[in-house]
Structure 1
């Protein structure tokens, strides 16, 4: 499998890193053990909505709103490996202790919660897809976005990849070094970046979208992103 696309714009949020300058500085440093600091409070999400959102949804919606202020978007793809896992864990705890489940936690625990909040906060009912594919979620989301760009009349797609803190009972199976984080991209057709799939094994030190962003900011001519069964090899032509 191979395909190409162009990145028109980007925005990312993580603890202690929010501006483009800070992200460029992060990218120039060797891959480390994650982020440190606090996440800046949202300047765009109405307070009444923000109070009902989980921390991970606020990240995704904030990043989406930043790019929607600057771009006319035709469709959107929301990607998260774990989604609203923190809310789901709270529900399981309540059930295990035979307590009442919070109606808010129950209604907001579905995987497409952040996508729904984005359309409400932006007052923009654009078509949105929400997906997950384990450790390969970001790359599969790019394929979904590329397919959308093949539809007549779709000129660009907003892609949001995000994840929150994994609750303690599950953290043995998942690294929390880079959580929470959110990477947002505006994608269009083009030959700026070309991707080809190979079966050669490759181990990631950080989430796929952060590897992509790091190499994009460094303007690396070639880089690889690993998955469970192989790796995605990227070439940059601009």
Structure 2
């Protein structure tokens, strides 16, 4: 599988990473480093809406709004490996205690919660797709975005990849030192990046979108991103 696209803009959110300069400094470190600190309060999300959002939805909506302010977006793709897992875990705990579940928690526990909040907050009913594909969620989101661009040549697609802290009960190998985080990209047709899938095995605990962002900021011409099976090989022309 080969495809190409161009990245027009980006925006990212993580604890202690409140400015582009911080992200560039993070990318320049010799090794991948986790995040620490606080996430800056949103200046774009109304307070009443922010209170109803989970932490992971807030950062996803914040990133999406930041790019919608600058670009005319035709469609959007939201990708997340775990989605609203923190809120779902809270619901399960309440049910186990035989207590009444909050209607807000119940209605906001679906995987496309962040996508819906973006369209509501931005007052922009753009078509949005939400998907999850395990470790490959970001890469599959890129393929979905590329298909959208093929249908709408000359348009821009917003890709928002995010994840929150996974409760310890689930005992998975997700790299908690990188959560919560969100990486948003504005994509269009072009030859800036070419991607192909390789069967070669690889291991990397870093979420795919963060790995992509780091290589993007370093202006690396070739790099690989680990996937569920094999890896994704990227080449950059500019």
Report the CA distance between 1:33 and its aligned residue.
4.3
What is the 5 A alignment of 1:133-148?
A: 133-148=133-148
CA contact (8 A) 2:153 2:189 kept: no
Deviations 1:83-119 (A, max 9, x none): 0001100111011111111111100000000000000
Q: CA RMSD in A?
A: 1.0
CA contact (8 A) 1:28 1:218 kept: yes
Q: Who is 2:69 aligned against? A: 69
Deviations 1:52-76 (A, max 9, x none): 0000000000000000000000000
What is the TM-score when the length of structure 2 is the normalising length?
Answer: 0.98
Instruction: Decide which moves more: 97-106 or 137-146.
Output: 97-106
Q: Who is 1:201 aligned against? A: 201
Q: Who is 1:56 aligned against? A: 56
Alignment gaps of 5+ in structure 1 = none
Q: How far apart in 2 are the matches of 1:173 and 1:71?
A: 36
Deviations 1:176-234 (A, max 9, x none): 11000000000000000000111000111300000000000000010000111110000
Report the CA distance between 1:153 and its aligned residue.
5.2
Residues 1:96 and 2:96 aligned together: yes
What is the 5 A alignment of 1:111-150?
A: 111-150=111-150
Q: Who is 1:188 aligned against? A: 188
Report the CA distance between 1:32 and its aligned residue.
3.6
Q: How far apart in 1 are the matches of 2:146 and 2:100?
A: 43
Q: How far apart in 2 are the matches of 1:171 and 1:9?
A: 35
Q: How far apart in 2 are the matches of 1:101 and 1:152?
A: 42
Aligned residues: 238
Residues 1:213 and 2:213 aligned together: yes
Residues 1:11 and 2:2 aligned together: no
Alignment gaps of 5+ in structure 2 = none
- Deviating above 6 A after TM superposition, structure 1's stretches of 4 or more consecutive aligned residues are none
Q: How far apart in 1 are the matches of 2:152 and 2:164?
A: 35
| Helix, strand or coil at the partner of 1:45 | coil
Q: Who is 1:31 aligned against? A: 31
What is the 5 A alignment of 1:156-195?
A: 156-195=156-195
CA contact (8 A) 1:13 1:39 kept: yes
